[in-house]
Amino acid sequence: MVREITALARQTAAETGRAEISPAVLAAMARVPRHRFVPASQQAHAYENRPLPIGYGQTISQPYIVALMTDLLAVQPGRRVLEIGTGSGYQAAVLAEMGVQVYSIEIVPGLAARAGELLGALYPQRVTARHGDGYYGWEQRAPFDAIVVTAAASHVPPPLIRQLKPGGRMVIPLGASFLVQQLVVVEKDAGGRVRSHEVAPVRFVPLTGGH
C-alpha cells in the first residue's frame, strides 16, 4: 500500500506541489494496522487503496488521500493537531504514529465510542478523543498547529479559525462520500491573515492545445 502511494504521489507532483509524500507520513502509514479500523466485513480490503464503509453512513478514506492530507498538514512530532470528525480513527492513528499530539472530536456517538476505545488502546498517550460537536473546536486545548476537518461542512466554523495558531494549517476534503474531489488547505500567516488554496489529488488539466 505504501509503495503504491509513493508511486502515485510522484505522478501527481505537479498538482499537489509535493514531489513525494514525506517519508515520515509513509512510515507512519506503514505502521498503522489499518485492518483494525475497518469493520470485520471489510477487513479483506483493509490494505487496498480505496475508501471503505465503516457504518453510520461514514467511510474510512482512501489511503492515498489520507497520506496526502497528512502530508499537507505539514506537522512535526510533538505538535498539536485537532481533528474534527474522528470517524474510524485511522487519520488520528496516522498522526499519532508521526509523534503528533492529536485531539479528536466525533459527533456520532457510536463512532465516537468505537474509535475512542481503539485509539485509547493503541495510542493512549498521543490521542485524546471525545464525543461532541466539533463546530466550536476544543477551546481548552487550543491553539493548534494544524486542524483537519474530515466531517462535511458548508463552511469553516469561525471558532476553528480562531483556534488555529498563526503559521498553522487546516486541511478540508471536499466532495461526496467515497468521492473526495479536492482538498482545501487553509493557512493562517503570522499576522493572523487567512488564505486558502485547493489541492487536486490528481493530474487532470482540462485546458488543452495552446490555451
Partner 1 sequence: MPVPLLAIACISCAALGLQILLMRLFAVVQWHHFAYLAVSLALLGYGVAGTALAVAGDRARGRVRQFFSASALLFGLTAPLAFQLAQQVPFNALEILWDIRQWQWLALQSLLLLVPFFFAAVCLCLVFSHYGAAAPRIYGADLWGAAAGAGLALVLLFFLPPQRALLVVAGLALAAAALGWRGAIRPGWLLLVPALALPWAVPIAWLPLDPSPYKSLSQARLLPGARVVEERHGPMGELVLLENARVPLRHAPGLSLAAQAEPPPQLALYVDGEGPAAITRRDAGVASLAFLGQMPSALPYRLLRQPRVLVLGAGAGMEVLQALHHDAAQVHAVELNGALAALLRDTAEPHAGGLYRDPRVRLHVAEARSFLAGQAGGYQLVVLPLSGSAAASAAGLYGMSEDYLLTRQAMREYLRHLSPHGMLAVNRWLHLPPRDLLKLAATAIEVLEAQGVSQPLRQIALLRGWQTAVLLVKRSPFTAEEIAAMRDFATAWAFDLEWAAGAAVAADQHARQARFAEAFAALGGPAREDFMRRYKFDIRPADDDRPYFHHFFRWSSLTEILSLRDRGGLPLLEMGYPVLLATWLQALLLSALLILLPLRLAAGTRASGSVGRGSVFAYFAMLGTAFMLLEIAFMQKLALFLGHPLYAAAAVLTMFLCGAGIGSRVSARLHDRPYWPLAGIVLWGGLCLALLPLLAAHGMGWPLALRIAAVAMLVMPLAFCMGMPFPLGMRRLAARQPRLLPWAYGVNACFSVMGAPLAVLLAIAFGFQRVVLAALLLYAAAALLSGWLREAPRGIP
Q: Which residues are catalytic?
A: 61
Rounded Cα distance between 77 and 95, Å, is: 9
Strands 179-188 and 164-176: antiparallel
**Do 38 and 46 contact (CB within 8 A), yes or no?**
yes
Q: Could you say whether residue 8 binds partner 1 (CB under 8 A)? A: yes
* Residue 28: Cβ-neighbour burial (10 angstroms; 0-12, 13-18, 19+): buried
Question: Which of 156, 163, 169, 171 touches partner 1 (CB under 8 A)?
Answer: 156
* Residue 8 CB, nearest approach to partner 1 (Å): 5
Kindly state the number of chain residues that form the binding site for partner 1, as judged by CB under 8 A: 56
Question: Which of 2, 24, 74, 200 touches partner 1 (CB under 8 A)?
Answer: 200
Question: Which of 33, 109, 124, 167 touches partner 1 (CB under 8 A)?
Answer: 109
Rounded Cα distance between 119 and 128, Å, is: 8
Question: Which of 28, 34, 60, 64 touches partner 1 (CB under 8 A)?
Answer: 64
Q: Provide the CB-side half-sphere exposure for 156 (13 A, CA).
A: 22
Q: Could you say whether residue 57 binds partner 1 (CB under 8 A)? A: yes
Q: Could you say whether residue 21 binds partner 1 (CB under 8 A)? A: no
Q: Could you say whether residue 146 binds partner 1 (CB under 8 A)? A: no
